[in-house]
A and B are shown apart, each in its own frame.
Chain A
Amino acid sequence: MELLVASAIGVLTAAGIYLVLRQRTFPVIVGMTLISYAVNVFLFASGRLVVNMPPVLRDGVDSYTDPLPQALVLTAIVIAFGMTAVIVLMSLGSFISGRTDRIDLSPKQDASE
């Protein structure tokens, strides 16, 4: 199981990085989404993997998984949405203003900012 999770995180990260290195804004946004999934699972996994021990207190159950990483990741997921929305709007704004969705600024474009 650990092998599956670790390799899944690695695959998500690798795909995310590859897409971030593309030259248009949309693949970059998709890539950052994948990386944020990978990082969220990574943070969650730092609580170590257990099956069938949710951190909801019940009578008769005395072992639970680590709740703290889960709490931190929950807000991280929601704020990642906020961040994604901001960069989507920024890329839209630059597309509407510049009619192009290239992500690299050419040197003469930069000088005219």
Chain B
Amino acid sequence: METIGAFVPLIAALPFMGALLPGLMIRAGRDACAAFAALPTLLAFILLMVNAPAVLGGEVFLYRIDWMPALGLNANFMLDGLGLLFAGLILGIGLLIILYARFYLSERDSMGQFYTYLLLFQGAMVGIVLSDNILLMLVFWELTSLSSFLLIGFWSHLPEGRQGARMALVVTGMGGLAMIAGMLILGNIAGSYDLSVILQHKDAIQASPMYLPALLLILLGAFTKSAQFPFHFWLPHAMAAPTPVSAYLHSATMVKAGLFLMARLWPVLSGTPEWFYIVATVGLITMITGAVIALFQDDLKALLAYSTVSHLGLITMLLGFGTPMAAVVAVFHIINHATFKAALFMSAGIIDHAAHTRDIARLGGLRRLMPVTFVITTVAALSMAGIPLFNGFLSKEMMLEEAAHTAWAGQGWLFPVLVTIGALFSVAYSLRLIWHVFLGPQRRDYPASPHDPGIGMWGPAALLAVLVVLIGLMPALIAGPLVAASAGAVIGGELPDYALKIWHGFTPALWMSIVAVAGGAVVLSRHAGLAGRWQRGAWLQAKGMFDAIMRATVGASRWCADLLHDGAFTRFAGIFVITAAVAGLWAWSGGDMGAPNRVMAPVNIVALTGWVLLVGAVGALVLFHHNRMLALILVGVAGLIVSLGFVYLSAPDLALTQISVEVVTIVLMLLALNFLPNHTPRESAPARRFRDGAIALLGGGAMAALVYAILLRDSAFESISAYHLANSYIGGGGTNVVNVILVDFRGFDTLGEITVLGIAGLIIFALSQAVVGSSAGRWLDQWRPEQALAGDRHPVMMIVATQALMPIALLVGVYIFLRGHNEPGGGFISGLIVAIAVLMQYMASGFDWAVARQRFQYHTFIALGVLIASFTGIAAWFADRPFLTSDFGYFRIPPMEQFELATAMAFDLGVFLTVVGAVMLALESLSGLSRGSVMYADIRPAPEPAPDEIAPAERMS
């Protein structure tokens, strides 16, 4: 039965909400950081467990949030047995991994960042298993790919880490793209993107002609994520990640996402021959190849990685059989595999930590040195081998039983024989893990002295090992209800008759198990000889092939790009202008234009003078642009005239903005001229200049004609501005209509724009850091300016004047900000004014002086600004209104007059902070280039320059 469960989205949201906590709490120490990372996971886990009994009893919790109904994308969540199983695995094992990672990560690893990525991944994974809408599931799917990329590449200083992360992202991303297509087709056939609807339409889906394409695409997504053959090669390379990541993502959770998808869509996709042949065959092949390759790996983690591939193949094969009983076994094995595999990965991490090596060839005889680890690893490895009394045996038995009764293309022997071979190799590598690492004589040449770690590291693994034994001994009691509930969700109907018990009688499965165990032991005893032959075999190296394919693709796209563009920017700029003009001409000739119906505004002497100045300045600019300082002055003149034009033509806000932007632009270009040569050489031939002039005249003429045509005619459609003018005071509370449009009517646009501005500031900062850090940075250190500096670097008069002006300038900035809602002003303009005031301090007193007195980094301003603006919008949700609805009221503080306050002012504050931060960050980064780094300013007093010595140059200091 279905009930409304408002807690379900909360379970998925908790890890996301807590994701920033570890980054903040790392300052309080590693324990606090780990505790705060475990907190959201623990809360979500408790929330899940509290409702688990109801779900195990058969209830399904649903919760629907409308997001974009027009697209069919709604945030619908569902908690049923399958979701309970997976969410429990993700959150429960997540808690253990957080504890383990606290002790595994070294002092140099940034733990806060690690836990943040881990929590992001966890939230995305829980989102996949709890979502009821396949489009929502896709969003979370891609999020897991991204967070997995961040986690695999966590040790970004290692090239294997970077390559492994890239490979994983490319493969799983490609699968994700295919899956999007498949899901869209599926939703199209079923008529809705909600899973609860899709799962009712089995017959329609299977009868549809698009069934096979949808199946193939969705399976592509599932197979890439779960590392099935032939997409299995990324998983071993992902082992470059820290061991907690391998234990969590690549054994227990992320790689199971593909299996989850197949299980979730099992009711509608399975049962057809296509499903059987594709899924079961791929699973079988993966199981065998994974097991065989695993046996011959010397790296502990690589062995475990390939064994994971093999077990995932096993589960895939079971899901592929398409019978309800096989689905039950698949679900059971998911539980078992997660427990013993996570324990094994943690043990591998412990051995790596203790002995400083993961190479099996260098290990051996560790049982006396690390007894606790020995016990844990043996328990888990025996379970992996399928030895009785451990949980792996139970699910493997049931799997062998199923395989014994399944025929492939009519051949009844194929599955049983091949599956036994797979089980044989599985026994071999599991026993190898115990035999070659722990048993045997103790060596004298371990890289470090191995010993058992603290309980923080072996505790989680021990807990899982205990679970392995408990489920192995009393499966029906411990795992029974969970298997029943989740298998019921997968099958979508009646559960078959089965029993989770150790002894089933003398079934074919038992004989196959005995053969596998005996054969595995034999193969292991011959391991040395076989390993030699394996090494000599010329196997296809997956990574080599992957790299070759990537190189070929990149080469092909480069060839294609070079055909079209050979790097001559000027030529293509010219072509662009000509094309635009021709396109405009073609459009004009195809449409029809009404007669002029506006009266031309009169010209007076002031306007005419301004025009003459503008044209004169621009003309002089074109003629004398070789002198770059003169060019800047003339640009300033042009900008000033434009600003005066705005004043004259009734745009006071624009005039203020234009003037202040003009100032910072000129300062920006002066900073650039610090390094660039002062003169542009005359190097264009007259013919070329003639050509460029012709193109320029074409472009300018087209533009002028277009504007003239527009200005003489009213627009063909009614303008919407009447609405803004009518409602600005009544609805928005302000009389400055332009500002009310920016922060109220079109506030969402402005939010996007300040975000873009902030990003631009951060890009500039990052680029300047990259320039300074590159090989060019060394050239920068020795760079000296080409001309002599002014004798007095910091004229006292200027220092005094700017310091006296600073409070006045800030006052003006605040005044312009406060009056912005009702008079020309607002966040943008006041932000620029304050930025200019701060800039004056840099210019007058020097870069070092200003940076030494700077309390906050400009990144903080940008972040605060965007956050304040966003929260102003979110606050409207609490009043049950759409995002960014504003409110205003009138207040009176006697003896002052009544004044108006609007929530839009908080939004404007966000705009103000972002503008200040972005402008200052950009200019500070540029001026910091000459000192080698922006962040670490040398605050020692500048040495007195000897008269004949040129000191290191900063135009700004």
Contacts and interface: CB of A to CB of B under 8 A. Distances in A.
A32 to B, nearest CB: 10
Given A23-B570, A68-B724, A79-B753, A86 B737 contact: no
B707 A89 contact: no
B651 A44 contact: yes
Contact of A83 (B653, B664, B729, B760): B760
B719 A42 contact: no
Given A4-B603, A37-B638, A67-B738, A9 B704 contact: yes
Contacts of A4: 603, 607-608, 611
Interface string A14-57: 11111111111111111001100110111011111111111111
Central interface residue in B619, B697, B699, by most chain A CB within 10 Å = B699
A93 B562 CA distance: 23
B668 A93 contact: no
B642 A81 contact: no
Contact of A56 (B652, B680, B750): B652
A75 B725 CA distance: 19
Nearest to B567: A105
B725 A55 contact: yes
A76 to B, nearest CB: 9
Given A30-B621, A30-B625, A106-B567, A14 B710 contact: no
Provide the main secondary structure of the chain A interface: helix
Given A41-B642, A48-B714, A75 B742 contact: yes
B756 A70 contact: no
Provide the main secondary structure of the chain B interface: helix
A8 B654 CA distance: 17
A18 B692 contact: yes
B601 interface: yes
Nearest to A14: B700
Interface string B656-694: 011001001100110111011100110110000000110
A68 B534 CA distance: 74
Contact of A2 (B635, B712, B824): B712
Interface stretch (B291-299, B394-402, B429-437, B922-930): B922-930
B621 A15 contact: yes
Given A2-B708, A96-B776, A68 B719 contact: yes
A58 B735 contact: yes
Contact of A27 (B625, B724, B771, B832): B625
A49 to B, nearest CB: 5
Nearest to A41: B642
Interface in B233-262: none
A80 to B, nearest CB: 8
A30 B628 CA distance: 10
Given A27-B625, A58-B735, A77-B654, A82 B918 contact: yes
Interface in B713-727: 714, 719-721, 724-725
A107 B573 CA distance: 17
B922 A82 contact: yes
B625 A19 contact: yes
Given A54-B650, A57-B725, A74-B738, A17 B699 contact: yes
Contacts of B587: none
B771 A96 contact: yes
B746 interface: yes
Interface in A95-111: 95-97, 99, 101, 103-107, 109-110
A11 B544 CA distance: 58
A41 to B, nearest CB: 6
A100 B735 CA distance: 52
A50 B649 contact: yes
A71 B668 CA distance: 25
B749 interface: yes
A110 B566 CA distance: 8
Contacts of A53: 650
B780 interface: yes
Nearest to B693: A18
B88 interface: no
Contacts of A45: 707, 710-711
A110 B750 contact: no
A107 B55 CA distance: 67
Contacts of B735: 56-58
A1 B704 contact: no
A86 B651 CA distance: 28
A58 B788 CA distance: 55
B891 interface: no
A80 B918 CA distance: 13
A85 B915 CA distance: 13
B614 interface: yes
B514 interface: no
B598 A48 contact: yes
A26 to B, nearest CB: 6
Central interface residue in A18, A23, A73, by most chain B CB within 10 Å = A18
B926 A89 contact: yes
Contacts of A54: 650-652, 824
B204 interface: no
Given A26-B672, A68-B741, A74 B631 contact: no
A91 B697 CA distance: 27
A78 to B, nearest CB: 5
Central interface residue in B700, B760, B774, B922, by most chain A CB within 10 Å = B700
A50 to B, nearest CB: 6
Given A44-B654, A51-B648, A75-B750, A37 B741 contact: no
Contacts of A77: 654, 657-658, 661
B764 A89 contact: yes
Contacts of B922: 82, 85, 89
A80 B719 CA distance: 26
A33 B570 CA distance: 17
B757 interface: yes
Nearest to A3: B708
A64 B721 CA distance: 10
Contacts of B871: none
Contacts of A86: 760, 763-764, 767
A92 B13 CA distance: 44
Contacts of B763: 86
B607 A1 contact: yes
Contacts of A24: 680-681
Contacts of A110: 562, 566-567
A33 B707 CA distance: 19
A21 to B, nearest CB: 4
A48 B600 CA distance: 10
Contact of A33 (B665, B700, B918): B665
Nearest to A101: B676
Contact of A85 (B574, B601, B760): B760
B467 interface: no
Contacts of B696: 13-18, 21
A3 to B, nearest CB: 7
Interface of B: 562, 566-571, 573-574, 577, 598, 600-603, 607-608, 611, 614-615, 618-619, 621-622, 625, 628, 631-632, 635, 638-639, 642, 645-646, 648-654, 657-658, 661, 664-665, 668-669, 671-673, 675-677, 680-681, 683-684, 692-693, 695-697, 699-701, 703-705, 707-708, 710-712, 714, 719-721, 724-725, 728-729, 735-738, 741-742, 746, 749-750, 753, 756-757, 760-761, 763-764, 767-768, 770-771, 774-776, 779-780, 822-824, 828, 832, 915, 918-919, 922-923, 925-926, 929
Given A15-B621, A55-B725, A78-B828, 15 more contacts: A12-B618, A14-B701, A16-B696, A33-B635, A34-B621, A44-B646, A65-B650, A66-B721, A68-B719, A70-B653, A70-B654, A70-B738, A71-B742, A73-B654, A103-B570
18 contacts: A1-B601, A1-B607, A13-B703, A15-B619, A17-B696, A26-B673, A50-B650, A51-B649, A51-B650, A71-B742, A74-B654, A74-B742, A78-B757, A82-B922, A85-B668, A85-B923, A96-B779, A105-B568
Closest CB pairs A-B (n = 9): A14-B700, A10-B704, A105-B567, A82-B760, A1-B601, A18-B696, A6-B708, A57-B735, A71-B741
